[in-house]
Amino acid sequence: MAKSKAQQHQQDVDLAPIWPDPPVESLGTTARTIPGKRYREELAKLQIELVRCQEWIKARGLKVVILFEGRDAAGKGGAIKTFTLSLNPRYARVAALPAPTERERSQWYFQRYAAHLPAAGEMVLFDRSWYNRAGVERVMGFCSAEEYQEFGRSCPEFERMLVRSGVMIVKYWFSVSDEEQERRFQARIADPTKRWKLSPMDLQSRARWVEYSVAKDEMFAQTDIKQAPWYVVNADDKKRARLNVIHHFLSLIPYEDLTPEPIVLPPRQSDRGYIRPPLADQTFVPEIF
């Protein structure tokens, strides 16, 4: 008997992996968050839809770029990890570029980013992107005034060129309040497993809060173009931000369900008298747990 769409959807949700409730880097009980059970249920549904969307992108040969920008400790990294949990890494990859080398600094500014753009059927998620020039490089003095002005002129044209070539660009700005960023920084200081997340640049971003605000506002004024608009994510609550970003992204692509028919496993080959070597000849990982 054929299943209804509602029955099939419920079965998909029931079979979806139950992801662990991610930590929220906030101190005390002041953080407003979505209940863990509801978060996991909604995330399971969205993960299924993301897989279907990826299948559509592969089948139609789409090229998708997603930029994750925002203040330090705004939750960009966690959102990217949540986004890619169930996706095929062969077709969905993360680009998190380190500081440019001396050679890269002599190149056309967009050159090293262009090398990571997607081919047909791929998605690339940039954990920070060419907008470093409009943010940290400008505020910290890592680029000259002329280089910054040229970026403001070139960036919209660069993105329009990508869109004309068939690349879909989705730009997210994760917005976090002064108070919430302070709580997350303090939590990282208190947790030895998270102190690596606090770099000298992070501390400077905290000290130069107003300068970064001005830089962000000017960046939006220059680069919030029709072909690739900015989408602001309220990121004071990490769980809601993750769900909202995934839901919004799915709304941008009119995908269809291309889920293949259930697979029937073939019978396993007979051993035909094959005798395996003794287990004592192998070196096993000690079973401490």
Quote the domain boundaries for residue 126: 34-99+106-256
What's the pLDDT score for residue 25?
40
**80 belongs to a structural domain:** yes
Q: How many domains does the chain have?
A: 1
**27 belongs to a structural domain:** no
**76 belongs to a structural domain:** yes
**3 belongs to a structural domain:** no
Residue 205: give its domain's CATH number: 3.40.50.300
> Burial, 69: exposed, middle or buried (Cβ in 10 Å; 0-12, 13-18, 19+)?
buried
**pTM for the whole thing?**
0.85
Task: Give per-10-residue mean pLDDT for the chain (289 aa).
Answer: 60 51 41 85 97 97 98 94 96 96 96 98 98 96 97 98 98 95 89 83 83 96 98 96 98 94 89 89 95
**70 belongs to a structural domain:** yes
What's the pLDDT score for residue 76?
96
What's the pLDDT score for residue 21?
45
**139 belongs to a structural domain:** yes
